[in-house]
Amino acid sequence: MKTKPLLLGLLALGPTAAFACASCGCSLSADAAAGYTAEPGWQFSFEYDYLNQNQLRSGAHSVSQSQVAAINDAGGNQEVENQTINRYLTLGIAYSPNPDWNFKLLVPYVDRSHTTYGQATNPMADDSQSGAAISGLGDMKFITSYQGLLPTHNFGLQLGVKLPTGDYGGQNSVTGAMVGHPTNFNVGAAAGTPVDTSLQPGTGSTDLIVGAYYYQPVSQNFDAFATAQFQAAIMERLDQANQDFRPGNTANLSVGLRYEADPDWVPQLQLNLIRKSHDQGALADESDTAGTIAYLSPGVTFRVGDDKTHVYSFVQLPLYSNLQGYQLAPRWTATVGITHAF
């Protein structure tokens, strides 16, 4: 089997910096899921990601809501979250002028529902919940990939930027004034107040993205790949006293195998690791936004018609998590997508 050039990004197609918990980043390598192509030209993709954060966790263990509320029973000030359902629709537009270069624009749309008991004490009642529906354009990413370092084109480097195109904001911690354009709670005791800044469609930050990837056939039918990405905010629009916010740095590592005995359908297994540092600033939940999680991600890619269209579907299953504070995490996540080359 010949080594094929990589003309792809290693980024997952969700706005990973806009999550309230370290475990919910879209850590799947969508480009490996979609399959590799050596053809210069245009490629369009569309991906749907579903993440239902319905389990409270702290450290490496799950915890009950009553356990978290007990902190407030003792005089603490800990939020007792209930559930966050995230749906992401991401349009990808990529152009490769030649086998050495690829340019990709990712445009996400965020649809999120969130419920919380706030700083509740025991016993908690359902009518004490506050809820919000959050939707809108997320933060776009533009990624440049260069894979001309080796004649086989199977090693590449990436440089990109995440732009503050999604709505963002919060409430000044001293004056109470609204900053930015945040979505508010619309149900419950918190109605009319902004949802957490980390749950808004955007973060208000410009982020630098750097990465690398490698792809190599390891036998007649198996291909192996590895990708790595680091993302960090370099400029924040929320930068004033008592209303500042900087999303935590995020690092992703993915490794996997593709079984390519039949080009019409390609089973694949990925191992995805994501590490996020604390959000920072007066609008950040600094104690509940850092951690590490590892996913095992089985899936399959199907070829539709000729070799220009592929459909893929994956499930991510958490193998390990170590989350600081008390965070909502998903028991599983799902991804489906389609790519078409011109």
User: What pLDDT band is residue 4 in, cutting at 50, 70 and 90?
Assistant: very low
Q: How many beta carbons lie within 10 A of that of residue 18, not counting itself?
A: 29
Instruction: Answer yes or no: are the C-beta atoms of 332 and 49 closer than 8 Å.
Output: no
Best CA proximity match to 101, nearest among 201, 32, 9: 9
The owner of tokens 């958490």 is 318
Which domain CATH number covers 39? 2.40.128.130
User: Whose CA is closest to 29, among 10, 47, 16?
Assistant: 10
CB 312 within 8 A of CB 279: no
182, part of any domain: yes
The pTM assigned to this predicted structure is: 0.91
Q: What residue type is assigned to position 261 of the chain?
A: A
For residue 192, what are the domain limits? 16-341
Domain assignment of residue 106, yes or no: yes
CA separation for the pair 153, 78 (Å, rounded)? 51
Residues 217-260 pLDDT 10s: 999 999 999 999 999 999 999 999 999 999 999 999 999 999 98
Owner of token pair 């706005």: 15
Q: For residue 48, is it within any domain?
A: yes
User: Among residues 78, 158, 76, 174, which one has the least CA distance to residue 118?
Assistant: 78
Cβ pair 159, 147 in contact under 8 A: no
- Tell me the CB-side half-sphere exposure of residue 318, using CA atoms within 13 A: 25
Is 143 or 152 the better-scoring residue by pLDDT? 143
Question: Is residue 186, in this structure, part of any structural domain at all?
Answer: yes
Query: In this predicted model, what pLDDT tens digit does every residue of 46-95 receive, in sequence order?
Result: 999 999 999 999 999 999 999 999 999 999 999 999 999 999 999 999 99
Q: Residue 163 above 80 pLDDT?
A: yes
Q: Residues 252, 256, 260, CA angle at the centre, nearest 5°?
A: 145
In angstroms, rounded to a whole number, what is the distance separating the alpha carbons of residues 46 and 32?
A: 15
Domain total of the chain: 1
Q: What is the dihedral of CA 327, 286, 245, 180, to 10 degrees?
A: 50
Query: Which residues make beta-bridge pairs with 110?
Result: 88, 136
- In percent, how much of the chain has pLDDT > 70? 89
Residue 7 token pair:
């003309």
Residue 35 binned pLDDT confidence (cut-offs 50, 70, 90): low
In a domain, 232, yes or no: yes
pLDDT at 299: 95
Average pLDDT over residues 15-36: 54
Judge whether 135 lies within some domain: yes
Q: Is the pLDDT of residue 334 over 80?
A: yes
pLDDT of 192 higher than 70: yes
* DSSP 3-state of 18: helix
Q: What's the chain's length in residues? A: 342
- pLDDT of 33 over the 60 cut: yes
Tell me if 3 is assigned to some domain: no
The residues near 24 (Cβ < 8 Å, ≥ 6 apart) are 51, 53, 84, 86, 328, 329, 330, 333
CA 53 remoteness from chain centre = 13
What average pLDDT score do residues 94-116 get? 95
Does residue 9 form part of some domain?
Answer: no
